[in-house]
Structures are given as C-alpha cells and as structure tokens.
Amino acid sequence: MNSKQSISSFSIGVLTLLLGAVVTTSAMGAELPKRKPGLWELRTQVQGMTAGTTIQMCIDAQTDNLIQQRANDKERCSTMDVQRGPGKATIHAVCKAESSTVTMDGVYTGDFSSSYRSEMKMHYDPPIHGMSESNMSQEAKWLGPCKPGQKGGDVVMSNMGGFNMNEMLKNPRFQELTKQRQGH
C-alpha cells in the first residue's frame, strides 16, 4: 500500500472519531476549561459497532490550539455553539467532512481537568460511505504525564498504531486530501 492509499484509508477509517475529537477540542479551547497537559485516554464507542476504540493522546497547549484552529476554520465548521452549565456543556456544530455537511449535537459532563464523558449524535447530509447518522459516546480520563519519548500530539489508537496529530494536520498531502474530500 502506498502512502497516499495509507492516508486515504486512515482518514476514512477514523473520520467519525477525528471529527468528534476536533469538535470536542475546539469547544474546549473556546468555551470549556483546557485539558490538563499530559496523557489522556479516550474510550470511544460508536453505536452499531461491536468493538470500541481506545485512543491515548499526549496533550499539550500546542496540540489543543492547532486542533482548535483547524476546527474553528469557518470553511470547515460554519457553526460552533457551546452552552455551559455547572459540570456540563452542550454543543451544536455544523462542519464539512468529505463532501458532506455534518451536524453534531453533543452533551459533555465532567470536570475536564481529570475526566469527562460525551454523548454525540452526528447527521451526515449527504451520507458518507452509506452512513447518514452515527451516535458516539466517549469517556476520557487523564492518566498522568506523557510517556517517555512522547511529544505533544502523539496519538496511539488500539489496533491501528500511532501518529502525531500536529504533524498530520500540517502535512500538505493530508491537507490536500482533506480539501479533495470536502469537494474543493
């Protein structure tokens, strides 16, 4: 498999997970308390899938800021409405993914410094790869400092290996693939 196929397969396989992470991170940067720097574990379950996915991500200010910057790009997300309450936040977002408009409504609970939980409902118009909607739940917890050798943006996904989100988002080939998938 060549690197372009690898990036394409990767982007299709984790589209729902990354969109949820992008929306969550951008909302955190804009309206919710920042996550504590260090190693976070996110356990994600998408309704209809038997196995969940576990992601460990080394978080630092640069990573949260870069993801927030990408998510707040009006070309990608035309709407990002966050309402806060004690220990709870609701989010309504409208973003582009591939050639589809994704409408996401989510409820987030927790202290956001050591743990939080989210329930997200996403609607895809037109459907993406035959999927018109998805429901995703996520539990996140702070595990401690990043592991030796890890740097901000390092992500390790169960059964999929690892990558650095900062480098991926800055990669011109990934940016071009993203633009192609958005129909630009």
pLDDT band with cut points at 50, 70 and 90 for residue 100: confident
Top pLDDT among 9 and 145 is at 145
**Confidence band, pLDDT 50/70/90 cuts, at residue 2:** very low
**How far is Cα 72 from Cα 27, in angstroms, rounded to an integer?**
9
Within the chain, what is the greatest distance between any pair of CA atoms?
48
pLDDT band, very low/low/confident/very high, at 97 (cuts 50, 70, 90): confident
Do residues 102 and 120 make contact, with C-beta atoms less than 8 angstroms apart? no
Q: Which residues are 138's β-sheet partners?
A: 44, 118
DSSP 129: T
Nearest one of 96, 110, 91 to 24, comparing CA atoms: 91
Per-residue pLDDT at 74:
63
